Amino acid sequence: MPTVLLRLASLNDVPILRAWDKKQHVIDSSGTDDHADWPAEINFDPPWREILIAETDHTPIGALVIIDPEFEISRYWGNIRSGFRAIDIWIGEEDHLGKGYGTAMMRLAIQRCFWSSDVDTILINPLATNTRAIAFYKKMKFEAEGHRTFGKDACFVLRLERTTWRQSEA
């Protein structure tokens, strides 16, 4: 397993985030061609969201966003009770795919979410057509919740319960 560290994104990361937004594999997994306004997103630092950069050997390799969907202002996940987190994750460069970085990033993200004893469930919503991502999340012990449309995107929602994670970590 490669050594991956997570750190909070800063305005210094804007150029690389913008570059990754233009990568075909990122576009294919994001579902829309709308790109984030990264300076605004990074400067907006609400208590219910973290934007993180994954690095190996001080080199950015990917990013992830963790939100508390109960408080997220767009209501993207709808009305949701407390105790949830939702994760978006992506690898930036094509040559970093298939090297274990995604697994390392996801493990760190799961640990970060479950660090809070208030969190009992993690949600993720890859595009329904992204069978590779769905298989990856199932390998990480996420369980299928079903199909759901978010905006224009047909997604497949998966969930990871704290109890399932604990059993898989034992």
**pLDDT of 24-78, one tens digit each?**
888 788 766 567 899 999 999 999 999 999 999 999 999 999 999 999 988 888 8
How would residue 112 be classed by pLDDT, with cut points 50, 70 and 90?
very high
Closest CA to 68 of 77, 55, 59: 77
DSSP string for 136-155: HHHHTT-EEEEEEEETTEEE
As a whole number, mean pLDDT of residues 122-135 equals 93
Q: What is the pLDDT of residue 157?
A: 96
Q: What is the pLDDT of residue 169?
A: 77
On average, the pLDDT of the chain sits at: 91
All domains in the chain, ordered by first residue? 5-169 (3.40.630.30)
How would residue 128 be classed by pLDDT, with cut points 50, 70 and 90?
very high
Backbone angles phi, psi at 152, to 5 degrees: -95, 0
Q: Which residues have a Cβ under 8 Å from the Cβ of 144 and sit 6 or more positions away?
A: 138, 156, 157, 158
Q: What is the pLDDT of residue 153?
A: 87
Which pair of tokens denotes residue 33?
């061609």
What is the amino acid identity at position 27? I
- Is pLDDT larger for residue 96 or for residue 29? 96
Q: What is the pLDDT of residue 31?
A: 67
